[in-house]
Structure 1
């Protein structure tokens, strides 16, 4: 809650609240889960969400990528240069990624694409992933793909549900910020994966945090500066 010229109040789940002249929102985002048996059991044991982080762990192995949007296809392209083979699983009847990415993916010799495919289970043995099961949505036929890793690439969910009705959010729930990290509410800034800034990477979020802090500092200086009339009288 905010009041013109007053403090910004953040109410906490425990019933308390904190107030400040500025606020920086940096609540991050979480990976969207596919919610099938085996996903939670084998998380970090073959089930991964970041191809940049975990891709090298599967060098020379077979993996699957769930998701045919830009993030999924970009992940599949990147992984294809590291792993032995990539299987792409997309629920819709066609890949949703940009045409240039789809064209690049289809040019790679070690990639197989399954569309209209519903992932039903991630299987494992001895504490690690050994396969993925999917159902052909057109025929109902079930298939098993032997893989050592499954990369879930079906999007990020910003941790901003609690902000609805207070600051402007994009259609994806991201906090809308300008180049300085300012939201549409004076004195409220935001940084990191919860915002509309592209490329959800740690180095970018860290830089945006510094930028938001500098912007908040600049905002405070300007708020505390005397008005021109007051400055004239003081002179």
Structure 2
């Protein structure tokens, strides 16, 4: 609270984090590698309306600085001019977004264009009896507490599926019928 922080990443996650942080910290600097923010326009408009937020584009973060106990700054290179800059701050939030490690599921369960496992509100995939949870799914918020709740939902749904699925009896053998 009341400190200077950085958010690395200018997509929806980064801009949403910067908006949230702006209400708590003294100053937020958003560092974006690209020449423009990729967040939705409505989020960019909100970000640009905040007086304690600065956006730095074409910024390649190259070093996190600290005293061995805590962060006290970062260094970035301006990708256009090549100059190196040091920024004093007390916190860094990395919000660059990651692709889920679901390639091994391709062709098995339905995946989104980003490779996320598509699930319904019970954690069910398009394959009956197969459930999924966490950041590798299409849940809208990639947060630990959300993944934990989704895991509980998927586990309860899987249990419900198992108790409602009839058990197939093995076919009788010749000796059993005699």
- Please classify the TM superposition score into its range, dividing by the shorter chain length: 0.7 to 0.9
TM-score under structure 2 length normalisation:
0.84
Relative CO higher for 1 or 2, CA cutoff 8 Å, sep ≥ 6? 1
1:220 aligns with 2:162: yes
**Which position in structure 2 is the counterpart of 1:124?**
66
**Which position in structure 1 is the counterpart of 2:100?**
158
What is the CA distance between 1:188 and its match in structure 2?
1.0
Q: Equivalents in 1 of 2:138, 2:49: separation in Å?
A: 32
Deviations 1:102-152 (A, max 9, x none): 111111111111111111111122432111111111111111111111111
Q: Give the stretch that moved more between structures: 177-186 or 139-148.
A: 177-186
**Which position in structure 2 is the counterpart of 1:194?**
136
1:64 aligns with 2:14: no
Unaligned segments of structure 2, at least 5 residues: 169-178
Unaligned segments of structure 1, at least 5 residues: 1-58, 227-235
1:168 aligns with 2:129: no
CA RMSD of aligned residues (A): 2.0
Structure-to-structure mapping, 1:176-187, within 5 angstroms? 176-187=118-129
Question: Greater strand share, 1 or 2?
Answer: 1
Residue 83 of structure 1: SS of its match in structure 2? Answer: coil
**Which position in structure 1 is the counterpart of 2:171?**
none
Residue 63 of structure 1: SS of its match in structure 2? Answer: strand
